[in-house]
Every structure is written in C-alpha cells, then in structure tokens.
C-alpha cells in the first residue's frame, strides 16, 4: 500500500436519511477525499452508478439508506440493498473486492452511524489499499 | 419471451482477450425484459469489463450500443458504424441475435455474452419460468392451456405418472406437477372430458429433433 494513501470515497445517500448538516461534518474529515451524491430515495442507486464511481477513481463507495421498514417510498432501501449485494459480487468476480462497497441503514440525522460506516470503510481500505483499476 | 442469462465475467474476459476494441451490442426486446442484455446490462457489463481489464493492466476500448431487436436485419443495420469501428462484437442477445449479427457482419468476429436458456414467462418479478419448448405442434387446447411437453418432467401426454406428491413433481419437489395443474384447470373450465381424448405418440419431426426449422409466409414475401 502507498505510504500516503488518502482514500477517495464516494457517498451515495438518500436525502431523507442524511441531510446537509451531517454531510458537512463528514466532508470535514481530512483523512479521505469525500464525494457525495444525493438521491431523492436510495432506490435510485443503480448498479451502473456504483460501478462508474469506481471507474471514476473511488477507492470505496458507501451507500447510506433509511432503516428497513422506514423508507418513504416503501421499498427503496430494500432495492438498494439488493443492488449493492449484486455489485459486491461483481466486484469480487472482477477481483476488486466487494468490501470496497458497503451499505448502511441509518435513522435520519444519526451522525454516529454515518461516522461509524465511514470509519469501517476506511479501516477496510487501509487493509485493501487503493483501487487497483485506476 | 426468450430468456437468457449473462455469462460470467471470467468467461467473457476469456472470449474477448485477443481483441483491443470491442463493441458490446445489446438487444432491447426479450433479453432486456429478463435483465440479461438490454441497455442497462450493456452499460454494467462494459463498466465491469473496463474495471477488470484496468486491474489486470490490459488496455481495451469498449463501445456500447443497443438495438431494438437483434434478430432483425433492419434493426441491426443501425449498429453498422459502431461495428466497423471495432475488432469484434460481444452480443448480449439470444443465440438468434448473435447469429443474425454474424450473418450481417461477415468479416467481424461475433461472440455470445449470454447463455440463451428457454422460452418462458415472467412468473413474478425476478422469476422466469420455462413454459414452451417450441415443439412445433401445439396441443394446449386439449390441456387447458398448460403444456405437459414443457412442464411435465416426463413429457406425458395422456395423464399423470402417479408419482407426484401434494401437487409437486417427484423429479423436483420445487416444480408444480403439470398434470395436477391441467386437471385442476380442466375442472374449472368444465372440460374434464378432454382427459378422455387419446393423444397419439407425438411426432417430434416438427420440433428441433427434425433439424433446423424454417417458416415461410409467401404472402409477406416480395
């Protein structure tokens, strides 16, 4: 792993669970480069968007969704969960390691869960190193 | 619809390995409906292959293009400029689409990216079931609209085998017994007398067993 590896992370999040205030808090972290993509519902997170994030240079991708059973559009977070699992398998098959992509359920405004998700990804990335397809 | 399943990334990587420029061509009809080869699947596969090749340090240009129907020359023609820009075409259509491309673009290698699986229906979201074997001699009128040729593991035409349990096939307990369904349906339709109709041994010459088939409609030919 490179000595000064500063991971690039793309964060997809549902605006109903993760607002601007929390976003500002996370982007304030200086141990990674964070790019955020807001979605009206996590069901918008299609397979291709996740893969394109990696093509664009992300070392890790995080998807933040509402807790199960609390999606404003009923099943958006379930769809997101299935798509993330599908892309994780694809990343494993490619040899990029599915752990680079993660999904976390969090209640609206629950900063600590978001920060924990970020810390988990950073911990995994410290082990895996930069995206080998960049 | 014709149901297909995309091949694994590793198999596809092996197929396209000798080429530097590849066109992935999707089909917007059957394989789009079963999530194997429509525009979205073309984009996902192209992205996955680009990542896989970059990771392996291999340079490859991948172009994406999807036509409405890959089994018709009229639609395939739209892809001609894209085909001419590439060394080979990876088709995400069914086997008919792959061969239609190969026929049209004689000098360009064409490869399958999908395993064509069966003629089926969307049973529920995400579940596809085989319901037609394309035998060329349809007897669904007698069987209440349920095909024993396709849906009975033993292809029995004159009643159940007696091995089913609780409406499930003895060959695979996940599969509904076709004859149980036929009898229930005929009962609903008041057509139980159909069960008295003797179906003689099937003439399989109308199926693929008789060799590749061709249908000619003189009235549509000019």
Q: Residue A2: inside a domain, yes or no?
A: no
pLDDT tier, A29 (very low <50, low <70, confident <90, very high otherwise):
low
Q: Can you tell me whether residue A6 is helix, strand or coil?
A: coil
Q: What is the pLDDT of residue A56?
A: 97
Cα–Cα dist B162/B57, whole Å: 59
Cα–Cα dist A107/B206, whole Å: 61
Tell me how many domains chain A contains: 1
Task: Give me the domain span that covers residue A18.
Answer: 8-128
- Asked if B94 and B33 count as a contact pair (C-beta separation under 8 A), the reply is no
Q: Residue A3: inside a domain, yes or no?
A: no
Edge-first strand listing for the sheet containing B21-27: B61-67, B21-27, B88-91, B110-112
* ipTM score: 0.91
- Mean pLDDT over all residues of chain B? 96
Would you give the distance in Å from CA B206 to the centre of its chain? 19
Q: What is the CATH number of the domain that holds A107?
A: 3.40.50
Shortest CA distance from A56: residue in chain B: B51
pLDDT tier, B175 (very low <50, low <70, confident <90, very high otherwise):
very high
What is the least distance, in Å, from the CA of B39 to any CA of chain A? Answer: 11
pLDDT tens track for B192-205: 999 999 999 999 99
Q: Residue A67: inside a domain, yes or no?
A: yes
- Asked if B26 and B38 count as a contact pair (C-beta separation under 8 A), the reply is yes
Q: Residue A117: inside a domain, yes or no?
A: yes
Contacts of A50 in chain B (CB under 8 A): none
pLDDT tens track for A61-118: 999 999 999 999 999 999 999 999 999 999 999 999 999 999 999 998 888 888 888 8
A47 and chain B in contact, CB less than 8 A = yes
Contacts of B54 in chain A (CB under 8 A): 132-134
| All structural domains of chain B | 2-118 (3.40.50.2300), 137-206 (no CATH)
Confidence check: pLDDT of A23 > 70: no
Confidence check: pLDDT of B86 > 70: yes
Q: Residue A134: inside a domain, yes or no?
A: no
| pTM, entire model | 0.92
Contacts of B9 in chain A (CB under 8 A): 90, 93-94
Determine, for residues A95 and B54 on separate chains, whether the beta-carbon distance falls below 8 Å. no
pLDDT tens track for B90-137: 999 999 999 999 999 999 999 999 999 999 999 999 999 999 999 999
What is the least distance, in Å, from the CA of B47 to any CA of chain A? Answer: 6
Angstrom CA distances, B89 to A119, B23, B111, B200, B204, stand at 43, 5, 6, 46, 35
Cα–Cα dist B194/B50, whole Å: 57
Cα–Cα dist A59/A133, whole Å: 9
Cα–Cα dist B27/B39, whole Å: 7
What is the least distance, in Å, from the CA of A25 to any CA of chain B? Answer: 31
Confidence check: pLDDT of B36 > 80: yes
Cα–Cα dist B10/B51, whole Å: 13
Residues of B with CB under 8 A from a CB of A: 8-10, 40, 43-44, 47-48, 50-52, 54-56
What is the least distance, in Å, from the CA of A52 to any CA of chain B? Answer: 7
Q: Residue A103: inside a domain, yes or no?
A: yes
Torsion sign over Cα A66, A72, A75, A76: negative
């Amino acid at each position: 792993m490179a000595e000064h590896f500063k991971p690039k992370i793309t964060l997809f999040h549902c605006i109903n669970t993760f607002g601007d205030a929390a976003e500002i808090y996370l982007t304030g972290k200086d141990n990674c480069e964070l790019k955020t993509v807001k979605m009206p519902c996590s069901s918008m997170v299609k397979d291709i968007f996740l893969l394109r994030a990696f093509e664009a240079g992300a070392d890790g991708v995080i998807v933040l969704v509402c807790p199960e059973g609390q999606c404003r559009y009923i099943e958006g977070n379930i769809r997101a969960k299935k798509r993330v699992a599908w892309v994780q398998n694809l990343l494993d098959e490619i040899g990029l390691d599915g752990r680079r992509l993660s999904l976390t359920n969090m209640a609206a405004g629950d900063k600590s869960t978001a920060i924990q998700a970020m810390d988990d990804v950073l911990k995994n990335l410290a082990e895996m190193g930069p995206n080998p397809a960049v | 619809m014709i149901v297909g399943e995309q091949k694994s990334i590793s198999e596809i990587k092996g197929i396209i390995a000798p080429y530097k420029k590849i066109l992935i061509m999707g089909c917007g009809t059957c394989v789009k409906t079963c999530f194997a080869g429509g525009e979205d699947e073309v984009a996902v596969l192209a992205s996955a292959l680009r990542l896989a090749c970059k990771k392996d340090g291999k340079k490859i240009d991948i172009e994406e293009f999807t036509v409405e129907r890959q089994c018709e020359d009229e639609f395939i023609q739209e892809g001609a400029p894209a085909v001419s820009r590439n060394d080979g075409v990876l088709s995400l259509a069914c086997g008919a689409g792959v061969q239609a491309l190969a026929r049209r673009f004689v000098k360009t290698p064409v490869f399958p990216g999908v395993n064509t699986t069966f003629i089926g229906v969307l049973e529920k979201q995400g579940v596809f079931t085989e319901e037609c074997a394309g035998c060329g001699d349809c007897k669904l009128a007698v069987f209440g609209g349920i095909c024993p040729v396709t849906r009975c593991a033993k292809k029995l035409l004159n009643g159940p085998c007696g091995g089913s349990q609780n409406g499930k096939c003895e060959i695979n307990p996940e599969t509904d017994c076709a004859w149980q369904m036929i009898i229930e349906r005929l009962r609903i339709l008041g057509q139980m007398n159909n069960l008295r109709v003797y179906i003689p041994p099937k003439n399989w010459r109308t199926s693929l067993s008789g060799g590749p088939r061709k249908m000619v409609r003189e009235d549509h030919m000019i």
